[in-house]
Structure 1
Amino acid sequence: MSRRMPAEWEPHTRTWMAWPSTGYTLGDTADLAEEARRTWAAVANAVIAREPLTMLVGPEAVGAARAHLDPRIVLLEAPLDDAWFRDIGPTFIDDAGELAGVDWVFNGWGAQDWATWDRDALAARAALASADVPRIGSAMVNEGGGIHTDGRGTFLVTETVQLDPGRNPGWTRARVEDELERTLGARKVIWLPRGLTRDSERYGTRGHVDIVACFTPGGQVLVHDQRDPAHPDHVVSAQVREVLAAATDADGGPLDLVAIPAPATLRDDEGWVDWSYVNHYVLNGAVVACVFDDPHDAAALEVLAAAYPGREIVPVDARPIFDRGGGIHCITQQQPAIRA
Structure 2
Amino acid sequence: MKLENTPSKDKFYMPAEFSTHEGTVMIWPVRPGSWPYEGKEAKQAFAQIARAIADSEKVWMLADEEHISEVQSEFNTDVNIIPLQINTDDAWARDVGPTCVVNGSVVRGIDWCFNAWGGDFDGLYAHWDNDDKAARIICDALNMDVYDAHPFVLEGGSIHADGEGTVIVTESCLLSKGRNPDLSKQEIEDKLKEYLGAKKVIWLPSGIYNDETNEHVDNICAFVKPAEVVLAWTDDESDPQYAMSKANLDVLEKETDAKGRNFIVHKLPIPKAPVCITAEELEGYEFEEGEDVREVGERLAASYVNFYISNGGVIVPQFGDENDCVAVEILTKLFPERKIYPIYARAIIVGGGNIHCITQQIPKGEEVCEMLQ
TM over 0.5: yes
> Shorter chain as normaliser: what TM range?
over 0.9
Is the 1:37–1:68 contact (alpha carbons within 8 Å) kept by the matching residues of 2? no
Deviations 1:63-91 (A, max 9, x none): 22223335321111111110000000001
- Structure 1 position 171, deviation (Å): 1.0
SS in structure 2 of the partner of residue 207 of structure 1 = coil
Q: Cα 1:205–1:244, aligned 2, differ >3 Å: closer, same or farther?
A: same
SS in 2 for 1:174: helix
Are the equivalent residues in 1 in contact too, given 2:227–2:257 (CA < 8 A)? Answer: no
Q: Are residue 74 (structure 1) and residue 82 (structure 2) matched?
A: yes
Q: Which residue of 2 aligns with 1:328?
A: 355
**Aligned partner (choices 116, 119, 122) of residue 130 of structure 2:** 119
Evaluate the alpha carbon distance shift between residue 113 and residue 53 of structure 1 in structure 2; reply closer, same or farther with a 3 A threshold. Answer: closer
Q: Which residue of 1 aligns with 2:187?
A: 175
Distance 2:235 2:340 in 1: 24
Relative to structure 1, is the Cα distance of residues 131 and 267 closer, same or farther in structure 2, using a 3 angstrom cutoff?
A: closer
Partner SS for 1:298: helix
Which moves more between the two structures, 270-279 or 99-108?
Answer: 270-279
Summarize deviations over 1:85-114 as a string: whole Å, max 9, x none: 000000111046421001110001011354
In the alignment, is residue 129 of structure 1 matched against residue 140 of structure 2?
Answer: yes
Which amino acid letter does the alignment assign opposite residue 133 of structure 2?
L
* TM-score, with structure 2 as normaliser: 0.86
Q: Does 1:157 align with 2:169?
A: yes
Normalised TM-score (structure 1): 0.94
* Cα distance between partner residues in 2 of 1:164 and 1:37: 31
Hey, what does 1:37 align to over in structure 2?
Answer: 43
Indicate yes or no: 2:268 matched with 1:260: yes
Unaligned runs of 5+ in 1: none
Asked if the contact 2:35–2:350 (Cα under 8 Å) also holds between the matched residues in 1, the reply is no
- Relative to structure 1, is the Cα distance of residues 249 and 339 closer, same or farther in structure 2, using a 3 angstrom cutoff? farther
Structure 1 position 22, deviation (Å): 2.7
| Kept after mapping to 2: 8 A contact 1:148/1:214 | yes
2:129 aligned counterpart, secondary structure: coil
Q: Mean Cα displacement is larger for which, 224-233 or 187-196? A: 224-233
Match of 1:19 among 11, 28, 32: 28
Q: Distance in 2 between matches of 1:171 and 1:218?
A: 29
User: How many Å apart are 1:3 and its aligned residue?
Assistant: 1.5
Cα deviation for residue 178 of structure 1 reads 1.5
* Distance of 1:230 and 1:151 partners within structure 2: 36
Whether the 8 Å contact between 2:169 and 2:217 is mirrored in structure 1 is: yes
1:2 aligns with 2:11: yes
Matching residue's letter, 1:104: W
Tell me how far 1:313 sits from its aligned partner. Answer: 0.3
User: For residue 216 of structure 2, what is the aligned residue in structure 1?
Assistant: 208
How big is the shift at 1:25?
A: 2.8
How many Å separate the matches in 1 of 2:255 and 2:98?
Answer: 28
Separation in structure 2 between the aligned mates of residue 195 and residue 282 of structure 1, nearest angstrom:
20
Contact 1:14-1:335 within 8 A present in 2 as well: yes
How far is 1:217 from its partner? 2.1
Length, aligned pairs only: 333
Separation of aligned partners in 2, 1:267 and 1:131: 37
On the 8 A contact 1:15/1:332 being kept in 2, the answer is yes
CA contact 1:11–1:284 (8 Å) conserved in 2: yes
Which region of structure 1 is more displaced relative to structure 2, 227-236 or 85-94?
Answer: 227-236
After the TM superposition, list the runs of 4 or more consecutive aligned residues in structure 1 that deviate by more than 4 angstroms. none
Distance 1:96 1:2, change over 3 A: farther
Identity of aligned residues (%): 37
* 1:230-245 to 2 correspondences below 5 Å: 230-245=238-253
Q: Cα 1:239–1:60, aligned 2, differ >3 Å: closer, same or farther? A: same
Contact 1:103–1:125 under 8 Å retained in 2: yes
One-letter code aligned to 2:217? V
Distance 1:81 1:188, change over 3 A: same
C-alpha distance after superposition, 1:208-247 (max 9, x if no partner): 0001001112631100002222321111111111111111
1:281-309 C-alpha deviation (Å, 9 max, x unpaired) = 00111101111111011111111111112
Distance in 1 (alpha carbons) for counterparts of 2:94 and 2:252: 24
Aligned to 2:106: 98
- Quote the Cα distance in structure 2 between the aligned partners of 1:57 and 1:213: 30
The Cα shift of 1:159 comes to: 1.1
Amino acid aligned to 1:223: L
User: Residue 193 in 1 paired to residue 201 in 2?
Assistant: no
CA contact (8 A) 2:159 2:167 kept: yes
The answer as to whether partners of 1:192 and 1:240 remain within 8 angstroms in 2 is yes
What's 1:303 paired with?
A: 330
Counterpart secondary structure, 2:342: strand
In structure 2, the gaps of 5 or more residues are 1-9, 278-296, 368-373
Contact residue 15 and residue 102 of structure 2 kept, 8 A? yes
Instruction: Write the distance in 1 (CA, Å) between the matches of 2:123 and 2:365.
Output: 39
